[in-house]
């Protein structure tokens, strides 16, 4: 995500947490979005526990559909690989 998109997204981060939690609840997911934080070259969405790939897809679709966000700059969410 570029800086402009990160700033736009973060200005409404509390609304995004609420909306994402409602969306996840609608698909009967048992994860909860705890918070969203900004990093130098990305945003990080922190969940209550490890998300399933279906949960990650829901989160990705939500972020891509946020108004005024350039979805071409959004990378697909992933689970970090353990070493």
- Residues 38-57: tens digit of each pLDDT: 877 778 889 999 888 889 88
Residue 27 has pLDDT above 80, yes or no: yes
Query: What's the pTM value of the predicted model, to 2 decimals?
Result: 0.74
Using alpha carbons, select from 71, 58, 72 the residue that is nearest to residue 19.
58
- The more confident residue out of 15 and 42 is 15
State yes or no: pLDDT of 36 exceeds 60: yes
């Amino acid at each position: 995500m570029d800086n402009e998109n990160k700033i736009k997204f973060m200005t409404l981060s509390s609304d995004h947490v609420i909306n994402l939690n409602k969306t996840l609840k609608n698909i009967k997911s048992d994860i909860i979005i705890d918070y969203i934080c900004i990093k130098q070259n990305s945003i990080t969405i922190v969940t209550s526990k490890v998300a399933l790939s279906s949960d990650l897809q829901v989160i990705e679709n939500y972020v891509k559909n946020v108004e005024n966000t350039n979805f071409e700059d959004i990378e697909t969410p992933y689970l970090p690989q353990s070493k």
